[in-house]
Structures are given as C-alpha cells and as structure tokens.
Amino acid sequence: MLRCEMHRWMRAAVCVVLSMMVASAAGAQTAPLRVAIVGLVHDHVAGFLEQLPAHHDVELVGIAEKDTALAAQYEKRFKLPHTLFFTDAEAMIAAQHPEALLAYTSIAAHRGVVELGARHGISVMVEKPLTISLADALEIRKLARASHIHVLVNYETTWYASNRAAYDAVAAGELGPVRRVVVHDGHFGPKEIGVSPAFLSWLTDPEQNGAGALYDFGCYGVDLMTWLMHGATPQTVTAVVNHDKPAVYPRVDDDSTIVLQYAGAQAVVQGSWNWPFNRKDMEVYGTTGSAITVGADQLRLRRAGDAEERTIPAPALAADEGSSLGYLKAVLRGQAKDAGDLSALDTNVVVMQILDAARTSARTGASVRLEPLPE
C-alpha cells in the first residue's frame, strides 16, 4: 500500500513538473522578443522605430550609441524613455539582457557587433550588406558557428511579396530554367534625397561602406540572384562603376553594373545613385516565360502559350516572411529556419564573395573568376 501511495505521489509530482515546463516553454514562445539597438548612424533605424508600435511581440529594451547628441535627437523625435539609452553596448547588455542585437552602424562596424553578440551568445541582425569584405564575412560565419548564434541580414526587398511570387514561379517551373535576370535598385542619390549627416558621412567613405552605389544598391540584386540560384557561386563576376557626380561623391562610385555569369544563366545587377526616381525591381526570364516585379506587391507574368503578359497581385506573405521583425522572432523562437533564404547567413556570405569580387573587377578592369567557398 505504501509503495502504491508513493508511486501515485511521484506520478503527480512528475505531472506538475511537466506542466510547469510546458507552461514555461509556451510563455517563452509568446513573450515579446527583447531586442536592443547598437548604433544610430544608419538612417534605417528610423524605419524600425516607426514600425515598432505595430509589433506587440517585440520589445525594445536598450539603445547603445556613443554620440549623446545623436541619441538625444532620436529620444526626442520618437519620444523614447531616456532609460533606454546607453553610451556603452557592453553596459547595455549587462543591464537589459536582450535576446537580439540590431546593428544600425556603418557597414564596416558590423563585424564588431557580431563579435559583441558572440561573446554574450546573442543573435544579431544587421542592415544590408552583411559586411565590407569576404574576409570579414568568413570571420562572421566562424563566430556565428562557434557561439551558436544567428546572424541575419535585413534587406527591404526581402519583404516584397512580388519577389517571393517571382521566385515561386521559377520554383513551380512556370518560366522554365532561368536564363537571364536583370535587377535595378537605387534612387537619385543619398545627398539628393536628404539623408542625415551622420549617415552620409560613412556612406560616402569607402573604408566604412566598402564602396558607393556598388555596395549600397548592388547588394540587393546580388542577394536576389544568389537566392534564385540556391546559393550557387557564379563562374565569373564583371563590374563597371561610374563617377558621374564627382563633385558630390568624390570618394566613391555613384553608379554600378555587375554581370554574374553562371553555367547557362546570367544576371545583370544595376545599382545606382543616379536613377531619375526610386526603384527596386527585378526581371526574371526563363526558357518559356518571364516574371517582372512591379513594386512590392505585383507581378507581370507571361508563360508559354500566353498571348501577352498579365499583371497579377502577388500573394501576401506569411507573418514570418513579411517583415524583418516577424522573421527575426520566428527564427529565434525556432518557428522558421534561416538557411538558403534572402536574409540567411549562408546566402550572404556568397553575396559578400560576389561583392568583393565586383569591387576588384571594377578596380582592375578584368573579370574575376570564382570557385565555391569551402565550408
């Protein structure tokens, strides 16, 4: 009898413990994701702060920025609590315990933010591109693997339903094998559109940005093509850059064309600070059809047998595919896998291999032959 009573007590205790574990896990899944900002010199941080109130599943717990005058501008503009602000990122992490760091620094500083995250086991999302060189990209990959953190890259075009619709049309075989992709990205110049002085100062510095329009807007098309080609490395990279506005941008290129040659396919990526209007669009041509994105949510589609192309709405994206914050939370909560997609580290290491080669090609005037990177 005593043994039976003991067994019942133990079973009850185990049930209680399991129930508590399940409740705790469920709570962790539904609790807001605690994020912290590192740096305020990238103007895209304003977009993040504007969309944050709509994301009740994400909580901003800290902002690290050494420039106190810049921090004060953001505090006033977005009516943020003064207690959010720190001048030292290490102190912010120790006090606030974020689950993810969002880097709004110069591109050259991305590696340092990943090193910071790796030391504390905290995942990082950076603004595009991943970094300024292949060497830095490989070191970031090494750090991420060793510390078991996620490193993600935020591109505006990742959250375009039109790009997903074009990709899905290719995957479904509606266009036949891809033969040519043309991507246009950019605007009429960062100074011309009125970016902040803090942003402009490093965006036009090759040591901080890697290049000019070649990196700033060329990265979008390179990312999209790497995604379409399932992470394959092109055989050759050829790039030409122009300095059409040397008085405005004396230190960096303001117009770029990158040609990527694959076995049986070619991409032409045009990133520029000299377009007469803002644009982010992609044309995908297969052996039997074509898909051309129109803004963020429409597609011009023509397939074999169609008398003419038709414009269709792109299907809405799922919550974990429609915004950087939705994707970030889904990845960190184990609800989405960051592999082979537009923001994933594996994709963006290849992107950096290509951008690094494009910079070399533009400088030397010769095509650069590439081989797949070792794992």
Residue 6 CB neighbour total at 10 angstroms: 10
Low-confidence ranges of the chain (pLDDT < 50): 2, 14-17, 19-26
> What pLDDT is attached to residue 216?
98
CA torsion sign for 185, 313, 48, 225 is negative
**Local structure of 336: helix, strand or coil:** coil
Those residues whose C-beta lies under 8 Å from the C-beta of residue 3, and which sit 6 or more positions away, are none
CA distances from 92 to 98, 117, 123, 201, 248 (A): 9, 12, 15, 26, 38
Q: In angstroms, rounded to a whole number, what is the distance separating the alpha carbons of residues 257 and 268? A: 7
Q: What is the pLDDT of residues 198-252, one digit of tens each?
A: 999 999 999 999 999 999 999 999 999 999 999 999 999 999 999 999 999 999 9
Q: What is the pLDDT of residues 256-267, one digit of tens each?
A: 999 999 999 999
Those residues whose C-beta lies under 8 Å from the C-beta of residue 172, and which sit 6 or more positions away, are none
Which residues belong to CATH 3.30.360.10 in the chain? 157-318+339-369
Token digits for 91? 């102190």
> What pLDDT is attached to residue 13?
52
Q: Which fold has domain 157-318+339-369?
A: Dihydrodipicolinate Reductase; domain 2 (3.30.360)
Q: Which CATH class is domain 28-156?
A: alpha beta
> What pLDDT is attached to residue 55?
87
> What pLDDT is attached to residue 12?
55
> What pLDDT is attached to residue 54?
87
> What pLDDT is attached to residue 21?
44
> What pLDDT is attached to residue 30?
77
Which residues belong to CATH 3.40.50.720 in the chain? 28-156
